Amino acid sequence: MSQQWHSHGTSHPWDTVDNRKWLFYRMLQMAVIGRTMRQIKQIRKGLKETEVFQLLTGRADVVPMMFPRHSATACSAKTVLDHIKWPLELSSDDEGEYSMAVKSQVAEYLRQFIENASPTQLTQLVTFWVGWDVPMKGMQMHVVKGDFPRSSTCFLTLRLPGHHESYLDFAAQLEQCIATNETGLGLI
């Protein structure tokens, strides 16, 4: 019977605007709400079992401390600088053969970049470095032979090339790299 409707160029009798809208909303609900319902129930159960829910409902002043707004957690230059493990004279880089003077110069360029960066640039830098927008303890910086800055987010390592002659050249190249960074394991 359905072949007969297709051969005449007409649609199925159930193919109406209302039915399409209903089907769209059912598919949306299944894709968005249905798949996350188990996780939502687990969160609710966990909040009740640990008595966090009672704390949150009983003391509203605790909510901002437990769930800060994103703007409140924005990283500052001082926060980023405090989390960096700077190259030491005793350390040996297998990837680069730069002198300590070059390593110190690149470290100074990075420090200057961080101190002068806008909040957006800081967030981009930290995301490029560690994979998300929150600085982590032990962020390492290495000076290596190469053309562009690279990062190993799993190892919290930023590898910066040592060939820059000026801060402006360094900053321009670093800005280009961090501005094009896309994150998320789903994008691989």
Nearest to 182 by CA among 125, 119, 128, 139: 128
Q: Which of 43, 66, 89 is the last residue of a domain?
A: 66
- Whether residues 6 and 30 share a domain: the answer is yes
Q: In whole angstroms, give the CA distance from residue 10 to residue 7.
A: 8
Q: Containing domain of residue 33, as a range? A: 2-66
Which residue is associated with the tokens 């159960």?
45
- Whether residues 103 and 170 share a domain: the answer is yes
In tens digits, what is the pLDDT along the chain, a chain of 188 residues? 445 545 555 566 677 888 889 988 888 888 877 778 888 888 889 888 998 888 888 888 888 877 776 655 667 899 999 999 988 765 554 555 788 899 999 999 999 999 999 988 998 999 999 988 888 889 999 999 988 999 988 899 999 999 999 999 999 999 998 988 765 443 33
What does the pLDDT read at residue 186? 37
- Whether residues 35 and 106 share a domain: the answer is no
- Whether residues 47 and 92 share a domain: the answer is no
Q: Are strands 150-152 and 157-161 parallel, antiparallel or unpaired?
A: antiparallel
Query: Considering the entire predicted model, what is its pTM?
Result: 0.60
Q: Which of 66, 92, 118 is the last residue of a domain?
A: 66
What does the pLDDT read at residue 1? 47
- Whether residues 120 and 78 share a domain: the answer is yes
